[in-house]
Chains A and B, each alone.
Chain A
Amino acid sequence: MSDPTATQDLIKGADDPAASPVAVRGDRRSLWRDTWDILKRRKIFWISLVMLILFLLMAAFPTLFTHKDPEYATLAKSMEGPSADAWFGYDLQGRDVWARTIYGARTSIIVGVLATLATILLGGLTGVLAAYFGRWIDAVVSRVGEMFLGLPYVLGAIIILGTVAPAQSNPGKAMIMAVVIVVLALLGWPILMRIARSAVIQAKHQDYVQAARALGAGPLRIIFRHLLPNSLAPILVYATITIGSYIGAEATLSLLGIGLRPPVISWGIAIADHASYMRTGAHALLFPAAFLSLCVLTFVMLGEAVRDALDPKLR
């Protein structure tokens, strides 16, 4: 018992695969539309969205939150606890912890977002190429990916950063951040490569790709118009969560003394600077740590909300 109109639709759809994204805009519901409908009913999504906006505001306009100079130090106030004057107290150098925490958001978010973008570019590109062309390209990319995965994360970062920018060296502000971003991407790309690769391999044998190829579409067109848009969902979800984990990783590296370092203001540096003063001034350690965790939580929560909405069977 087949519905005649449905069959007609099918035939029409098969006729002109390039037109399908336009047709979706009409009555039929797209994946993204469904996702949005699920998302907007979920509390966790709205909570993480509000937190995300707060953190982005903090990063873009720190003066909205504090009028104090994060570099201004009064040594007499070193390690003074929280008061009405300085909500989070003063750090070892007598600088305002609240101001430094606010200004730290910018660094963390820049590093997290840029490192994720670099990971997507590197991992996504290699993954798509490996899956699309297969054969020896696939073999080489997969093996090289395994080599980088074989280097455990912290270990790899320590080795690269310890040699490229050892603790004694003193590169400029932008340079320090760039090195950390490159290292994070360099160690993180194989995971994204695998995600992109499996997504493309799954999509590769779908009818619409075969149809596009039959119509004479070249590899570039097939990859960018057909394969990528349909493999975007898993990459997007992973990217959101990755921003969070990269922010945590940046702080970890800074803590070890090989990631970011002054004059950059970051949560990781603040934590590293005060780790050995836990008994006398835990505030200078715990407040940045709290902001760091909240920021990571925001991205992880957002990514999970999107993932659950995209793929309801996981719940």
Chain B
Amino acid sequence: MGRYAIRRLLQLVPVVLGTTFIINYMVWQLPGDPFAGRCGQRPCPDSYVTAMREQFGLDQPILVQYWNFLKNLFTGNLGTDFNGVSVATQLGDAWPITIRLALMAVLFEAIIGIGAGVLSGLKRGGFVDNVVTVATLILLSLPIFVTGYLLQWILGVQFGVIEPTVSDAAAVPELIVPALVLASLNMAFTARLTRTSIVENLRADYVRTAVAKGLSNRRVVGIHLLRNSLIPVLTFLGTEIGSLMSGAIITEGIFNIHGIGGLLWRAINGQDYTIVVPVATLLVLVYLLSNLLVDLLYGVLDPRIRYE
């Protein structure tokens, strides 16, 4: 187990390097001058461009730039953006809001998704099963922003149940609807995964044994069936935390939440790549690490899986 963890961690290193290199390369090296639009209607004077290029190290070869980026990343120095505001401060302001939003979304996914999946899996072909199948199909085909605008329009504009946009504080009650929107797609996946898993395990020998022993239905389902069926679901939820964070870009845009997604979004539109690169790197790291954690957790949850 320990050796496996170390090996996985080592395997992660080239992937992290590769991904961050791709980000760096695409952001800084692809055609298009990052300083083109920074002087209003007229083109920037050469002196300004040269000074900025020097300040942000753009006059150096890409590999040197990348090396400096890595060095800064590991020393925790994220630098400043083009306007001279510390990137770390901006990240610090935005990060907690996105974490809150993502955690709430995962919670909704787990409660609603697993609940619906268990109910439909236990009574296959029944009324609940059909309702859940149709509902998940619809959720799967609604892009997140459609769900977002629809809820915003119905609940916010038509009925006035919620404020259409979230305030700066982004308190928990305000985030309920955005979190539901963010969770909607994965909720459907979770429900389906749970259902498949339950249906499969219902036929398993250990369930038959448990029933034959005369255990109550509650115990068979709650202890024997659920625990085993939820393993793939938990891993799914874990791996999806990373993509939830980037999915938050759209949700945060719709509901005007000032989180990581909003920060990234404004930076892209303002072509301020000094923010784009660290934020993107952070999101990628979260994504990869959550995947790794889930893989390791898998072995703990399911002892049948052996790591060589």
Contact = CB atoms under 8 A, between A and B. Distances in A.
Given A160-B26, A244-B141, A296-B141, A256 B253 contact: yes
A150 B246 contact: no
Contacts of A252: 143-145, 250
Contact of B250 (A150, A166, A168, A256): A256
A285 interface: yes
Contacts of A273: none
B284 interface: yes
Contact of B288 (A150, A292, A294, A301): A150
Name the prevailing secondary structure of the A interface residues: helix
B146 A289 contact: yes
Nearest to B199: A315
B232 interface: no
A75 interface: no
Interface string B82-110: 00000000000000000000000000000
B274 to A, nearest CB: 14
Nearest to A251: B143
A114 B260 CA distance: 32
Interface in B220-274: 242-243, 245-247, 249-250, 253-254, 264-265, 268-269, 271
Nearest to B15: A146
Contacts of A66: none
A164 B26 CA distance: 9
A278 B149 contact: yes
B43 interface: no
Given A154-B247, A158-B264, A159-B276, A297 B141 contact: yes
Contacts of B254: 275
A294 to B, nearest CB: 8
Nearest to A275: B149
Interface string A244-288: 100011011001111000000000000100010011001001100
Contacts of A30: none
A154, A249, A275, A292 — most chain B CB neighbours (10 Å): A154
B143 A153 contact: no
Contacts of B246: 152-155
B184 interface: no
A159 B23 contact: yes
B15 A152 contact: no
A10 interface: no
Given A153-B243, A159-B26, A301-B137, A289 B150 contact: yes
Interface of A: 143-144, 146-148, 150-155, 158-160, 162-164, 166-169, 244, 248-249, 251-252, 255-258, 271, 275, 278-279, 282, 285-286, 289, 292-294, 296-297, 300-301, 304, 314
Given A154-B247, A162-B271, A294-B141, 14 more contacts: A146-B15, A154-B249, A155-B284, A255-B250, A256-B253, A278-B153, A282-B157, A286-B149, A292-B146, A293-B142, A296-B143, A297-B137, A297-B138, A314-B196
25 contacts: A143-B18, A147-B15, A147-B18, A148-B22, A151-B19, A151-B22, A152-B243, A152-B247, A152-B284, A155-B284, A162-B268, A162-B276, A164-B30, A166-B32, A252-B143, A252-B250, A256-B250, A278-B149, A278-B152, A282-B157, A285-B149, A289-B146, A289-B149, A300-B141, A304-B137
